[in-house]
A and B are shown apart, each in its own frame.
Chain A
Amino acid sequence: MTNVNYFKDQFEQLQDSGPATAIAELRTDGFNTFNKSGLPTYKLEEWKYTNISSLFDKEYQFANTAPAIQLSDIDAIRLAGHEQANELVFVNGRFIPALSTIRSTASQLVILALEEAAKGKYEQLVKAHLGQSSEYLKDGIHALNTSFIQDGLFLLVPKGQQLTEPVYIYHISDARQQNTLSQPRSLIFVEENAKLQLTETYTTLGTSESFTNEVLEVVVKENAFVEYYKIQHDGLNASQVGSTHIHQIGRSHVHTVVVSLNGGVIRNNLNLVLDAAGNETHLYGLYLLKGKSHVDNHTLVDNKQPNCFSNQLYKGIAGDASTGVFSGRIIVQPDAQKTNAYQSNKNIILSDQATINTKPQLEIFADDVKCSHGCTVGQLDEEALFYLRARGIPKEAAEVLLLEAYAADILVQIKPEPLRNHVAELIYEHLSIS
């Protein structure tokens, strides 16, 4: 059975299994879009450099039965600082409360199954915000996630809660028996004067293929502060389209860092919709690519209101036969006067077979704005390398020193120290093993 027929079959089963809720309606919309668009091919401008449709030449399955994941499996993948963290576990794209550990109190942090939240006191919130990302991501792969919203996560930090325990989300794909398609879906609210540190990481078990097609939607209200970290260091058999859509509806502050080390084909969509005057947003990214890894970062900053500030710095290193893609789109809407929007993408290529594609796009419809963008593609500084070697440091170690130094100004943007040190170690190991 081809994937598309399988998806159709599965979709019908899912819709027949439950009542006609708002979420079910959303799924129908999603599946209609998927049917119309199919999986994106390189013919679409936004997918010009990243071919995911060929990944679906292989047959994937949703793992419907509860997989055999124990708490001890999770011990192996916990991030540093987990002792103080709220740890949420997704297995094969489904939020599993039984495997999760919530350390904050119920008044500090609300965590529910998305379907539950859609029925109770948060019904209107869910209705108003779930699926907002579809306005920006109109392709078939995004619609495929929406088609199968099921066992999603609803997370809310109530008004005034400056959450001190971070939230860690562990995504586990079980590819021990079969090629697995995981489609996590989350909706997150950070209310007025609240603070949230959110980190996501991904692990594939087994050696079959895993494909994670994630959508995470975040709504940020007045005076809220959000730090978002995404750490991608999975196997070469693990591919991913990860879409993070952050909607700043009140004047607020958002800080994001996306670090991509190992993986197969990775596409990250990071959308920031600055929908209140005076929003501030910082986007940082680091990709250190080896082997045949392919990492594509698409950012979008949509300035809808005046006086917003955004700054983007993405840095990449491409070795071996890897490919790095950066596409940064900044939109300044007619009302968004006095926008300050900056973007920079810097790359180092280490091998003749490696490729970097970098594409800034500025669409400015207001006249009183400051916007800049820049991109560079270069090589490791040969003079610096010679200097280190002339002091007795072997070539490989000297390269690691220089690459670590190159990555350092993104690393420091990971503010929590345990997490920063953890990522620093991952980077060191990743660079040291050739």
Chain B
Amino acid sequence: MLSIKNIHANIEGKEILKGINLEIKAGEVHAIMGPNGSGKSTLASVLAGREEYEVTEGEVTFLEKDLLELSTEDRAREGLFLAFQYPVEIPGVSTTNFIKAAVNEKRKYQGEELLDAVAFLKMMKQKMALVEIDQSLLSRSINEGFSGGEKKRNEVFQMAMLEPKLAILDETDSGLDIDALRIVANGINKLRNENRAILLITHYQRLLDYIQPDFVHVLYNGKIVKSGTKELALELEDKGYDFITDEADLAASL
């Protein structure tokens, strides 16, 4: 579904990603872990099409299309979803209207029939229950005055509504207490299926207690330095990042 080949990316002339390779197939859940500053969020931003980042080398194929050639909105309408690490507050734009516009933009792009108000509300009710989000949040402006947990829950709700083929969850666990983390993780688990790929980006192993990944990758200094199964995450939890980063630093110095 997603194929990343030797991606290099800069921001303001500084190289952050230094040759990333990653293959993700439908139905798989991948976790990318790594210390602060390793390039995890940059990878998410590059995939979603944030314009501040300049890709200098490499290619990304998403569902047989050249992802880097697509605009941010077209990537979304092709089925890529980014759950933001810091969801933006947008006063004056109602959450419900925004999600309806997003759902219908995608349907229009895919050549499907647009949802009318009744069908949309029905869908909303169903997905609200799935991710345990309250109606009162959705009648407010986008994320305005939401707590950290409510913002993350809103991200997962949007994911449920947009039914992406590939969901990238950027530090969705950050800033959540244990109860909020459980609710958010439950929501994500319910959205897991054989047609959908999920890329979890996280600093901590604790999210992976709730969402069991098929593969774990360690990103360090702009490269994936180690890949493995979920046991790798446990090993990281146990030994800290040093055991991998020291190894990588040593290899780099040789």
Contact A392 B92, CB 8 Å, known A397-B101, A401-B101: no
Of A59-67, A403-411, A425-433, which stretch is located at the interface?
A403-411
Q: Given A386-B50, A401-B93, are A393 and B88 also a contact pair (CB < 8 Å)? A: no
Q: B20 within 8 Å of A by Cβ? A: no
Contacts of B72 in A (CB 8 A): 386, 389-390
**Stretch with Cβ within 8 A of A (4 or more), from B8-16, B25-33, B76-84, B192-200:** B76-84
Q: Does A387 contact B (CB under 8 A)?
A: yes
Pick from A383, A389, A408: contact of B76, CB under 8 Å = A389
What size tier do the contact residues of chain B reach? Answer: 20 to 34
Instruction: For the complex, give the distance between the alpha carbons of A395 and B105 in Å.
Output: 12
Task: With both chains docked as a complex, state the minimum distance between the C-beta of B248 and any C-beta of chain A, in angstroms.
Answer: 31
A387–B158 CB distance below 8 A: no
Interface flag for A402 (CB, 8 Å) = yes
Give CA–CA (A6, B195) in the complex, Å.
79
Say if the beta carbon of A48 comes within 8 Å of chain B.
no
Q: CB-defined interface of B87-106 with A at 8 Å, one 1/0 digit per residue?
A: 11011110000110110011
Shortest Cβ distance from residue A413 to the other chain B in the assembled complex, whole angstroms: 14
A404 touches B92 (CB 8 A): yes
Contact B92 A391 (CB under 8 A): no
Q: Does B56 contact A (CB under 8 A)?
A: no
Instruction: Contact check, A390 vs B92: say whether CB atoms are below 8 A apart.
Output: no
Nearest residue in B to A396 (C-beta to C-beta)? B73
CA distance A404 to B76 in the complex (A): 23
Q: Contact at B92–A408, with CB atoms within 8 Å?
A: yes
Complex CA distance for A248 and B65, rounded to whole angstroms: 67
Min CB–CB distance A401 → chain B (angstroms)? 5
Cβ of A328 to closest chain B Cβ, rounded Å: 23
Contacts of A408 in B (CB 8 A): 92
B218: Cβ under 8 A from any A Cβ: no
B147 within 8 Å of A (CB atoms):
no
Q: Smallest CB-CB separation from B74: which chain A residue?
A: A392
Residue picked from B82, B98, B109, B158, most chain A C-beta under 10 Å = B98
A392 and B106 in contact (CB under 8 A), knowing A387-B84, A401-B101?
Answer: yes
Judge whether B82 and A390 touch: CB under 8 Å: yes
**A390:B76 contact, CB within 8 angstroms:** yes
- CB A390 to nearest CB in B, in angstroms, measures 5
A391 contacts B71, C-beta separation under 8 Å: no
B90 touches A391 (CB 8 A): no
Complex Cα–Cα for A408 and B84 (A): 26
Interface check A384, CB cutoff 8 A: yes
Contact A392 B93 (CB under 8 A): no
A402 near B93 with CB under 8 A, answer: yes
Roughly how many angstroms separate A386 CA and B82 CA in the complex, as a whole number?
A: 11
- Asked if B43 lies at the interface with its beta carbon under 8 angstroms from chain A, I say no
* C-alpha gap A203/B142 in the complex (Å): 38
Pick the residue among A384, A387, A392 that contacts B105 (CB under 8 A).
A392
- How far apart are the CA atoms of A393 and B92 in the complex, in Å? 16
Contacts of B158 in A (CB 8 A): 391
B87:A393 contact, CB within 8 angstroms: no
**What is the distance, in angstroms, from A204's C-beta to the closest C-beta of chain B?**
32
Asked whether B162 is an interface residue with its Cβ less than 8 Å from the other chain, the reply is yes
* Closest A residue by C-beta to B77: A392
Q: Interface code A143-155, partner B: CB below 8 Å = 1, 0 otherwise?
A: 0000000000000
Given A401-B93, A404-B92, A405-B91, verify A392-B73 contact (CB < 8 Å). yes
Residues of A within 8 A of B106 (CB): 392
Chain B residues with Cβ under 8 A from A398's Cβ? 73
Contacts of A393 in B (CB 8 A): 73, 98, 101-102, 105
Residues A392 and B109 in contact in the complex (CB < 8 Å), given A386-B50, A401-B93: yes
Residues of B within 8 A of A402 (CB): 90, 93
- Cβ of B77 to closest chain A Cβ, rounded Å: 4
Determine whether A388 belongs to the interface, using a CB cutoff of 8 Å to chain B. Answer: yes
- Find A405's partner among B51, B87, B90 (CB 8 Å cutoff): B90
Q: A391-B76, A391-B162, A393-B73 are in contact. Are A383 and B88 (CB under 8 A)?
A: yes
| Interface: A394 (CB within 8 A) | yes
Contact between chains at A394 and B90 (CB < 8 Å): no
Complex interface residues of chain B between 105 and 164 (CB less than 8 A to chain A): 105-106, 109, 141-142, 158, 162
Residues of A with C-beta under 8 A to B102 = 388, 391-393
Instruction: Judge whether A409 and B92 touch: CB under 8 Å.
Output: yes
Could you tell me the distance between the alpha carbons of A406 and B88 in the complex, rounded to whole angstroms? 15
Let me know if B67 is at the binding interface, CB within 8 A.
Answer: no
CB distance from B167 to the nearest CB of A (A): 12
| Residues in B lying within 8 Å of A, measured CB to CB | 48-51, 71-73, 75-77, 82, 84, 87-88, 90-93, 98-99, 101-102, 105-106, 109, 141-142, 158, 162
7 further A-B contacts with Cβ under 8 Å, apart from A389-B76, A390-B73, A401-B93, are A384-B88, A386-B88, A392-B76, A392-B105, A401-B101, A402-B90, A405-B90
10 closest pairs, A vs B, by CB?
Answer: A405-B92, A392-B76, A391-B102, A389-B72, A387-B88, A392-B77, A392-B105, A408-B92, A389-B73, A405-B93
List, sorted by A's number, 6 A–B pairs whose CB atoms are closer than 8 Å.
A388-B93, A388-B102, A392-B77, A392-B102, A401-B101, A408-B92
Give residues in A with beta carbon < 8 Å to B: 381, 383-384, 386-395, 397-398, 401-402, 404-406, 408-409
